[in-house]
A and B are shown apart, each in its own frame.
Chain A
Amino acid sequence: MQKTWRSATLAAYTLAILAFLYLPLLILTLYSFNDSRINAVWTGFTLKWYASLMTNDRVLEALTNSLIVASITTVVSTVMGTFAALALHRYQYRCRTFLNSLLYLPILIPEIVMGLSLLILFSQTGVPLGKPTLIIAHITFCLSFVIITVGARLEGSRDDLEEAAGDLYATPWQAFRYITLPMILPGIIAGALMAFTLSIDDFVISFFVAGPDSTTLPLYIYAMVKRGISPQINALSTCMMTVTVSLVVISQLLQMKSYHASRKD
């Protein structure tokens, strides 16, 4: 009896916290459909804020920028990150501590420090801020996440499978191509999705290294918020949330699926 009472209390508490986490986001979404321009009174359902996004050239430009930056970032960081994860998994390195620092510090150091350090680098070397600098910065903070995600997948995989392939006449390349790659593919896809999400969502670092021609969606939202409250921000934020949440759910499902598959054998 006492136990069920305790569980019920904890469950209620947890539900309350979940409500705390989700309610603001739901309200934001709800108000993106509110007809009223200035206050929180519900004056009717409308899609006009979304429609106005479609015709807003600045928004479309920011969207294009975000997609370009995120796509290039994803491809480059996934390829480099996968290579590095494979090598780190397979070989012993004498400078392991140094490599680990390079790998984990970008995640542990406050984002603002990374952002301003890149700004100083670019300005001191005379590189003009723009899409290239933005892409370089995004690749830098995505790399560690990709390496760690793919590495986790490799950690869970069995070493003897590649040996077995070698024993069955597969060259090291064939063993990789037919055995290792299919096995770690879910990890690579999860890493890529993560890189894409991180890139499209990033504000802090982009804030420092973006140029006038390379405003991304989060930067545009920030500018709008700073200028004053407009229901257009609600609509744009809702769109971005939808994309982010879908990407995260897909990547989680992929990781879960591959996790269970690797657990079975």
Chain B
Amino acid sequence: MKRGKLLVVPAMGWLSLFFALPLLIVVVVSFASRTAYGQVVFNWTLANYIRFFEPLYMTIFATTIVTALGTTLLTFAMGYPVAYTIAMILPKKWQQAGIILVMIPFWINFLIRSFAWVIILRSQGVVNTILLHLGLIQKPLTLLYNDAAVLLGMVYALLPFMVLPIYVSLEQMDKRLLEAASDLGAPPVTAFRRITLPLTMPGVAAGSILVFISSLGMFVVPDIMGGAKSALIGNIIQNQFLAARDWPFGSALSIILALLALVMILLYYKALQAQKGGQAHAKNLA
């Protein structure tokens, strides 16, 4: 009868072996050091974590955080009205199609999507060609390989991540609340500010977390659209593994990255529980 319980074993065993175990090894390696040839030596040192605090890496870390925050804010500003339009203004039967339309680019991989911008922005690209032809500029503008290009690429890559959770929370919201607000004399803008926005905050939070975490670990966009100075922490990690062959330092950096991501998720989860707990408490009182 309970033999069925064992059906989780293959999948969970697989994830333990190829997800949890490698993560543990990364933790171990992050306390190791390396030989001149890149060999890992297990000598339990904090050197890799201490090195993270060197000005060079702190600057990159700060740039990464600022870029991630900027991406989150921009995707929110761009994404909320889109989610709102699809969930609240579009006729019911078109909503599903609308959200799929927003989500499709998300499935196309970052590489191709970043490359599309290279075609548009490079010096012989679409924009420069048009501007030159119109005689608005005399020589091509440098639109690529700077921080702005990276930010553009990140926003472009991650916008669907913001729209989807906000759309879901708007869609699930009881629309009668707005009728009630209107009945109680709230003009539409007030109703939006006092009712819709607070109620869809969980969606906004989920979207922000998704976008923020994804931007933290992103290395494809800066790799393709960014210049030498716009490296983010993801590029540094990539570099430790493929060029510098300093795996212990790369491991320490990725542990810091993963912890940052986990802390964000945990905070979000706690906030969500607190909200749910509040609701349950209210129910008990009623």
Contact = CB atoms under 8 A, between A and B. Distances in A.
Please say whether the chains A and B touch (CB closer than 8 A). yes
A91 B237 contact: no
Interface in B3-39: 4-8, 10-12, 14-16, 18-23, 25-26, 29
B241 to A, nearest CB: 5
Interface string B208-221: 00000110110110
Most buried by B among A11, A22, A90, A222: A222
Contact of B86 (A14, A21, A221): A14
Contacts of A144: 15
Interface residues of A, number: 83
A113 B224 contact: no
A112 B234 contact: yes
Given A7-B89, A88-B8, A116-B241, A229 B108 contact: no
Q: How large is the interface on B (under 10, 10 to 19, 20 to 34, 35 or more residues)?
A: 35 or more
Given A22-B105, A140-B15, A225-B118, A3 B125 contact: no
Contacts of B128: 40
Contact of A28 (B6, B11, B112, B213): B112
Residue with the highest number of chain A CB atoms closer than 10 Å, among B10, B104, B107, B219: B107
A113 B261 CA distance: 11
Given A110-B217, A116-B251, A221-B111, A24 B104 contact: no
B196 interface: no
A112 B238 contact: yes
B247 A204 contact: no
A113 B217 CA distance: 8
A120 B234 contact: no
Given A17-B78, A110-B216, A229 B159 contact: no
A114 B19 contact: yes
B43 interface: no
A166 to B, nearest CB: 12
21 contacts: A2-B188, A10-B84, A17-B79, A21-B105, A21-B160, A22-B105, A24-B116, A24-B156, A27-B120, A83-B8, A83-B11, A86-B7, A99-B8, A110-B234, A110-B261, A120-B26, A139-B18, A201-B108, A221-B112, A221-B115, A249-B100
